[in-house]
Structure 1
């Protein structure tokens, strides 16, 4: 399952939910027909009935079986997920965050600097959080730095700009 966000509460009185996206730029949910919601146990599948954007970070979704504000309130805090087969393949040069997490990061000279443990957007570009022991490096995912991404081999290659590894 691919985590896409967290349900942050009810929206109005008819069971709609507010879903805060992990990646606000993603439109994957707008094309999906089902969603999985996990709250303290196994993910449960729901038919997705409607999706609309409330603001830059939050969607309003309606799902089958949640028809009033009380039922929607009970979903607060739940994790929303999609099945990998329900998301479109990324465009050339793009990737899903889950694909990068766990990849080993190598410099162009072949030396390893750690593994990608987190990915986030700072508004201008994606950032890989690379850790090795106590060391943490924030790698901007830009063409000047990232030279190769091989998610099947679980490795990426970078050519750091001056000061990036200091």
Structure 2
């Protein structure tokens, strides 16, 4: 498991006082009000700093960091990723997982057949959907033309998630393949 969790990507500067607009990769832009220490990863290196202020703006967050005081200091942060330490992340209930932990997990059927690897998680509102890269999978019924399978995260389909082993066991319901 990763030591850090990505919570957003800086899109542009905002105003003249060193604020930035952030596209959240967490469930809500409001999350930035709850977090203090962050790491900003840029092509030139990583900056550890604190969030001193945050507010929601449409589907973005406007964030002020302790390390920056004016627009000149943040103008080169476009596309920089913002991370938090795992221990600062939201506490998860049983059966909840960080998306970062699901990506890369091997997906197998209840019969032990390898389906592929989780490459993304779509958040649809009703339930999440695992996007599974099926390239090279040998499961009968999977089309060789399609390289991905969409699996609804519902109890009838997802039977077990073992983050420690990196394995998700699924039942392929009729109509999924």
The TM-score range, normalised by the shorter chain, is 0.7 to 0.9
Q: Paired residue for 1:22?
A: 25
Q: Distance in 1 between matches of 2:7 and 2:160?
A: 25
How large is the RMSD of aligned CA atoms in angstroms? Answer: 2.0
TM-score if structure 1 supplies the norm length?
0.87
Q: Paired residue for 1:147?
A: 159
Alpha-carbon deviation of 1:155? 0.8
- Among 83, 86, 89, the residue aligned to 2:85: 83
- Among 51, 55, 72, the residue aligned to 1:52: 55
Q: CA distance change for structure 1 residues 14 and 23 in 2, over 3 Å: closer, same or farther?
A: same
Q: Paired residue for 1:100?
A: 102
Of 127-136 and 15-24, deviating more is: 127-136
Q: Paired residue for 2:139?
A: none
> What is the DSSP-based 3-state SS (H/G/I as helix, E as strand, rest coil) of the residue aligned with 2:33?
helix
> What is the DSSP-based 3-state SS (H/G/I as helix, E as strand, rest coil) of the residue aligned with 2:93?
coil
> What is the DSSP-based 3-state SS (H/G/I as helix, E as strand, rest coil) of the residue aligned with 1:71?
helix
> What is the DSSP-based 3-state SS (H/G/I as helix, E as strand, rest coil) of the residue aligned with 2:68?
coil
Q: Distance in 2 between matches of 1:12 and 1:94?
A: 37
Alpha-carbon deviation of 1:28? 4.6
Q: Which residues of structure 2 form unaligned runs of 5+?
A: 137-146
Q: CA distance change for structure 1 residues 33 and 89 in 2, over 3 Å: closer, same or farther?
A: same
- Among 30, 35, 40, the residue aligned to 1:37: 40
- Among 5, 20, 25, the residue aligned to 1:2: 5
> What is the DSSP-based 3-state SS (H/G/I as helix, E as strand, rest coil) of the residue aligned with 2:45?
coil
Q: Distance in 1 between matches of 2:164 and 2:30?
A: 24
Alpha-carbon deviation of 1:148? 1.2
Q: Distance in 2 between matches of 1:130 and 1:23?
A: 21
Of 121-130 and 10-19, deviating more is: 121-130
